[in-house]
Chains A and B, each alone.
Chain A
Amino acid sequence: MVQYFGTARLDASFAALSDATRRGVIEQLARAEASITDLAERFHMTLTGMKKHIGILERAGLVVTEKVGRVRTCRLGAQDLAEEAGWIASYHQRWSARFDALDDVIAELKAKEKMDGPERQ
């Protein structure tokens, strides 16, 4: 489904948000930043399990982490999916792919018409 958008960024965001724990983490981080240890405790998970979730959110650009001393702190990423430039790029990619395919169809029609002679209009 997510391929419709043709952007890796949106794919990653949807995948990241398809999980209830990760949505919970986002909600939590919207209130306040937290360490991975805090989050693991809050969501009753192992540290390893939470690290995995954070990794997925981080790759999607939804969360950023910073290690200070021995503590890795997580907060919401700066990504703004509604950012206009992002939409334009995705829109452009979609139409460009579509028109490339249309180009092929039209080339066929043109070749066929050349063979058959111009059709009366």
Chain B
Amino acid sequence: MGLNANDFGATTVARKSDTEVEVTRVFDAPPHLVYRAWTTPELFQRWWAPRSIGAPMRVRELDVRVGGGYRIEFDGEDGQIWAFFGKYIEVVPNARIVWTNEESDNGPISTVTFEERDGKTLLTFRELHPSKEALDEGIGAAEGMPEQLAQLEELLAELAEG
């Protein structure tokens, strides 16, 4: 499959099913470089939480191998720390990484693939949630404040039921 000029730099998001969301982007570099940026802690630290997200992030662990773990922490208000963590369950260098999200009981399984396209990389990120409800909750909460968001959702759901 070739690339169209307008594929560059465009991030697409699609809901593939009730339980799956997919994000794609083409990067102007071969897969091994994109993979390196994804799996090297110092590099990962620089893009996973870009400044626009507005919170300092620490990569505590990023052990990208089957059975290895990761742990990312954000500083919240009042000294609170929001941690995101899990384990890598499939690792194919320069091609594919699959990991769990264990900060909540019904976290998704995340998969990222790096496919070579004319010397460039088509990156596809997927989140497969255990249920539709988990996806609805997870899309909003994945990087945010799970508890507060859940509270807000509960409140709004109550209000909607009236």
Chain A residues within CB distance 8 Å of chain B: 1-6, 13-14, 17, 23, 26-27, 30, 76, 80-82, 84, 87-88, 90-92, 94-107, 109-110, 113, 119, 121
CA distance A80 to B155 in the complex (A): 11
Which bracket fits the contact residues of B?
35 or more
- Specify the chain B residue showing the minimal Cβ separation from A121: B32
- Do A95 and B125 touch (CB < 8 A)? yes
**Given known A81-B152, A82-B153, A82-B157, contact A95–B11 (CB-CB < 8 A):** yes
Is B5 interfacial (CB-CB < 8 Å)?
no
CA distance A14 to B77 in the complex (A): 14
What 4 A-B pairs have minimum CB-CB distances, sorted nearest first? A3-B54, A101-B47, A101-B50, A102-B47
Q: Which of A26, A84, A94 has the most CB of B within 10 A?
A: A94
- Do B13 and A103 touch (CB < 8 A)? no
B16 to chain A, nearest CB (A): 12
